[in-house]
């Protein structure tokens, strides 16, 4: 009888552990959002982590392009990513709409790419601003020098991946 009881307790413990693990995975990969009807811009506006990005999209006049039908992937720098820019860089970008558009374009892909679709071999993907290097390794997705910190936030017109670094084109120079 002790063996059956031990087996029963072990089974319940395993079920609880699996449930907790699945819940954590869903949270890390965008689960729990009710995104069926919301576009990328609407989701970003509702998420406090992306308020600086939303301000930048509005300043660049790019928010209208991302609230339309289509399939997009946005590698969305968090507020912390913008805060990590060198002093004065964000202000310089916000003052120069052309440069701001160029930088933000490196964060947008004209196709929906889920985290699981990123190959483990290093490859490049074409963003609206040009090619960037991507690689998935041991459960981490890297986009250029940025790490995806929260993946697969699905929207009606694509997907958002939160990143910890602003992707800066190699030809960018703050004025």
- Is the CB of residue 147 less than 8 Å from the CB of residue 23? no
As a whole number of angstroms, the distance between CA 28 and CA 140 comes to: 11
The 8-class DSSP code of residue 130 comes to S
pLDDT recorded at residue 39: 94
As a whole number of angstroms, the distance between CA 159 and CA 70 comes to: 11
Q: Does domain 34-163 have CATH number 2.30.180.10?
A: yes
High-pLDDT (> 90) share of the chain, %: 67
Rounded to the nearest integer, the mean pLDDT of the chain is 82
Smallest CA-to-CA distance from 166 within 96, 66, 60, 90 is with 90
DSSP percent split of the chain into helix, strand, coil, nearest 5: 45, 20, 35
Smallest CA-to-CA distance from 165 within 45, 78, 48 is with 78
- Hey, what are 44's tokens? 């970003």
pLDDT recorded at residue 116: 93
The yes-or-no verdict on residue 70 having pLDDT over 80 is yes
As a whole number of angstroms, the distance between CA 175 and CA 120 comes to: 37
- Is the CB of residue 127 less than 8 Å from the CB of residue 120? no
Residue that wins the pLDDT comparison between 16 and 114: 114
């Amino acid at each position: 009888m002790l063996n059956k009881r031990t087996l029963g307790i072990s089974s319940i413990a395993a079920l609880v552990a699996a449930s907790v693990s699945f819940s954590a995975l869903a949270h890390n990969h965008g689960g729990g959002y009710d995104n069926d009807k919301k576009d990328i811009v609407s989701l970003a506006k509702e998420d406090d982590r992306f308020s600086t990005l939303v301000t930048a999209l509005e300043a660049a006049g790019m928010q209208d392009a991302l609230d339309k039908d289509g399939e997009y992937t946005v590698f969305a720098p968090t507020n912390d990513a913008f805060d990590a820019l060198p002093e004065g860089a964000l202000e310089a970008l916000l003052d120069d709409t052309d440069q701001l558009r160029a930088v933000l374009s490196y964060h947008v892909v004209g196709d929906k790419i889920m985290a699981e679709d990123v190959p483990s071999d290093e490859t490049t993907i074409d963003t609206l601003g040009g090619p960037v290097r991507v690689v998935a390794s041991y459960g981490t997705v890297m986009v250029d020098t940025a790490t995806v910190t929260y993946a697969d936030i699905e929207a009606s017109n694509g997907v958002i991946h939160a990143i910890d670094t602003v992707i800066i084109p190699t030809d960018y120079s703050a004025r």
